[in-house]
Amino acid sequence: DGGITQSPKYLFRKEGQNVTLSCEQNLNHDAMYWYRQDPGQGLRLIYYSQIVNDFQKGDIAEGYSVSREKKESFPLTVTSAQKNPTAFYLCASSTGIVNTEAFFGQGTRLTVV
């Protein structure tokens, strides 16, 4: 089945630790995105990548890092510099060309303990 797979579904992290969230897609999409959602809020863009080996900061990039070494993969690292990392993280992809309809993974819920 074609789609976007995020793992893990739930993640617990101790304060001061870095953690990496996985996002893989087999839709052959060029563009990939990471969003953060806080309770009762909309989604805010963290980072996005329109092509392999290139990515740009979104609206709330501080304390996060990404890489795009392969077209199908866009991992997000939440670093210890992120002051309030507990949130729901959603990964998306789109063709990024003419039809820019985006599709989302199932999300990772990160809790800092």
**Is 102 one of the binding residues for another protein (CB under 8 A)?**
yes
- Asked if 30 contacts 51 with a C-beta cutoff of 8 angstroms, the reply is yes
Whole-number Å distance between alpha carbons of 14 and 112? 6
Neighbour-count burial for 12-42, b at 16+ CB within 10 Å, e otherwise: ebeeeeebebebbbeeebebbbbbbeeeeee
If the CB atoms of residues 84 and 100 are measured against another protein, the closer one turns out to be 100
Whole-number Å distance between alpha carbons of 56 and 81? 19
**Is 104 one of the binding residues for another protein (CB under 8 A)?**
yes
Stretch that binds another protein, among 19-27, 43-51, 68-76, 78-86 (CB under 8 A): 43-51
Among 66, 87, 90, 112, binds another protein (CB under 8 A): 90
Among 27, 43, 60, 61, binds another protein (CB under 8 A): 43
Binding site for another protein (CB under 8 A): 31, 33, 35, 37, 41-45, 48, 50, 58-59, 88, 90, 92, 94, 96, 99-107, 109
